[in-house]
Amino acid sequence: MNDKYKGLFEPFQFKNGVSLKNRIIMAPMTNFSSNSDGTVSDAEVNYYARRSKGVSMVITACTYVTPNGKGFPGEFAGDRDEMIPSLNRLASAIKEEGAKALLQIFHGGRECPPNLVPNGETVSASAVASERAGSVTPRELSEEEIEDIIHAFGETTRRAINANYDGIEIHGANGYLIQQFFSPHSNRREDKWGGTLEKRLTFPLAIVDEVKKVVKEHAKAPFIIGYRFSPEEPETPGITMADTLRLMDVLADRGLDYLHVSQTDYKAVPRRGIEDKRTRLEIIQERVGDRIPIIGVGSIYQAEDALDAIKMGVQLLALGRELIIDPDWVEKIESGREGEIVTKIDKNAQQRLVVPDPLWKAIVNSPGWFPGVD
């Protein structure tokens, strides 16, 4: 290994005592490849196992906590105890390759396709449609339903514990239900769940507290709890960088193990809300990085990109598309072959890359999503 990359391979220990063998993590990515009954498929297990050897931790694609939270076709289920063996199968495949396994838990809210949820009825914080093409207006959740969903996040956490995961990641990013409650675009409520910025924090924090309670009650060993968030929204009104810094402050003091920034480029800078020309990653790291570990992500294709991101102060890096393109990304750097890292998808290499058919079709039919697809 080239000495300048040694920092990427230093062990890392969370405050709860769980240790990682290096600083590189597999980011959560939807793969559309689960069985129709919500169980994990053979193709999914093989896909994860192929990418679990070099990284220190794998965060799975999101699993839905209630039937009306299913956000994608081919998404595996975590909403009932019958799914524990399926969840365990995936955790075991990851851990057998030497990585920690984290289950990402979520509810899609208004972003759920109507054909995937009971009675075709999507729900959200308020009856406000997404601005994406073809979106439908969701039904506003009642207070009782909100409490039920909070409880469901706890129940899926319990299932993750029973399925032998090393932790969970709360998916508060990418415009899904938790973010919908935090966003002034999707949350127009005037009760305790919405209105002011502080009230829009109520739902995300209630989920954090519920998950922590369940972990305290059921986990017999240290169990990682992370939270993923999107720094800003393009909509007006929408989440600004100033809003996110307030969210960071509150989450940093909530006893979580890490915060995970969701963005497509680690060099991205704020759109609005604050006057600062530094990257979002640097701003967030400066704000809360001394209180909680930050995972940086986004377009870290080369070893030099990883070094650049680490120089921003973050302690952990997540690779998403990069590990689909080159499953041996980490091992190549570790063995001094960083010059061999592949940065564009080989459209003739599906079998060699061990990518399930539904994900492969999404990749090759989505110009601009993956380098090499045009």
Q: Which residues are catalytic?
A: 176
The CA angle 135-140-146, to the nearest 5 degrees, is: 120
Which residues have C-beta within 8 Å of that of residue 158, sequence separation ≥ 6?
214, 218
- CA distance linking residue 47 with residue 65, whole number of Å: 23
Contact predicate 325/371, CB 8 Å: yes
Contacts 24+ apart (CB under 8 A), 211-220: 211/153, 211/154, 211/157, 211/168, 211/170, 212/254, 212/255, 213/154, 214/154, 214/155, 214/157, 214/158, 214/161, 215/157, 215/161, 218/157, 218/158, 218/161, 218/162, 219/161
Return the H-helix or E-strand segment holding 221. Answer: none
Torsion, Cα of 30, 328, 281, 202 (10° steps): 30
Find the radius of gyration of the CA atoms of the chain: 19
367 prior amide bond cis, ω within 30: no
Only one residue has tokens 């995300």, namely: 204
Across 173-272, where does the E strand assignment appear? Answer: 224-229, 258-261
Q: At what angle do helices 202-218 and 143-162 cross, to 10 degrees?
A: 40
